[in-house]
Amino acid sequence: MILKLLTFVTLGFLLTSCQKEQSAVETSESREMHPWNIKKLSDKATQHLDSTKWDLPLFKQDIETYTAYEEVFQSYPLNKSPFPVAVYDYAVSYVPFTIEHQETLIKGIKVGECEDSDCKKVTDKLTLLVLINDKEAEETTLVDSRNHPYLTAQGTFKTRENTFDWVFSASPDGFSTLLLNMKLFDLRFGETIIIYPQLDKSFFYQQIKDSPNNYENFEDFKKMILNNPKVKTQLTSEKNIK
């Protein structure tokens, strides 16, 4: 599921703001030639405050979209109301997935940024997995490019007994965080987070210093997760949700 300069809400429909646009997307090569530093980040922040730099057609489109789907946007951990931003070119990606093994069911999401104009290559910045063990469990995710050059996303996992709200942000200088039910993860120490809901409504967690970016085949990444000794041990715990 790819998002070009727009916001995608995973409730079975594409928002009206998600029309195809033929604007150029910043590629990995251009980022390497013009890396973000504190001066460029400061300049971008100043542009966002300058009304002469705003993308007014995009702002108008966001207002119309919010008006049409206000209830949806308000259902996320943070209300996604419209705001003006300076003109930008940026594309972000969100991909849901599941891992099934014997009686174990894990739902997950990958959040990343596109490396080319067609979004054929994506660099994942967050991989979040939650032990669900319930095929009817709900997962909703909203990935937002409006904070360019920062990547932001949020969502919710709902099981029979637990609800997990999360908010994610990644800075182009390499600093990124995930806040899940008030537990803060500094993703410099691992971009893969696994959540294990417990029967008493608490949760255990693991942070793995690995990423789908390191695998040509995503199935190999899944195998790595299931073969991780600590994951294997935790998945057999009798205190996990059933």
Question: pLDDT tens digit string along 180-222?
Answer: 999 999 999 999 999 999 999 999 999 999 999 999 999 999 9
Residue 159, pLDDT score:
85
pLDDT at 29 over 80: no
The residue to which tokens 């405050």 are assigned: 49
pLDDT at 12 over 80: no
pLDDT in tens, 122-158: 999 999 999 998 888 999 999 999 999 999 999 999 9
Residue 114 in 3-state DSSP? strand
Residue 112, pLDDT score:
96
pLDDT tier for residue 34 given thresholds of 50, 70 and 90: low
Pair 77, 61: CB distance under 8 Å? no
Measure the CA–CA gap between 12 and 47, rounded to whole angstroms: 35
Measure the CA–CA gap between 64 and 69, rounded to whole angstroms: 9
Residue 21 in 3-state DSSP? coil
Measure the CA–CA gap between 2 and 167, rounded to whole angstroms: 19
pLDDT at 74 over 80: yes
Upstream peptide bond of 149 is cis (omega within 30 degrees of 0): yes
Q: 141: part of which helix (H) or strand (E)?
A: strand 138-144
pLDDT at 5 over 60: no
The strand pair at 192-197 and 122-131 is best described as parallel
The residue to which tokens 């001066």 are assigned: 39
Residue 117, pLDDT score:
74
Measure the CA–CA gap between 14 and 32, rounded to whole angstroms: 32
CB atoms within 10 A of CB 83: 12
Residue 191, pLDDT score:
98
Long-range contacts for 44-48 (Cβ within 8 Å, ≥24 apart)?
A: 44/86, 44/148, 44/149, 47/86, 48/84, 48/85, 48/86
Measure the CA–CA gap between 56 and 34, rounded to whole angstroms: 26
Closest CA to 113 of 102, 128, 124: 124
Write the DSSP symbol of residue 191.
S
pTM: 0.86
Question: In the chain, pLDDT over 70 holds for what percent of residues?
Answer: 86
Mean pLDDT, range 116-126, rounded to an integer? 89
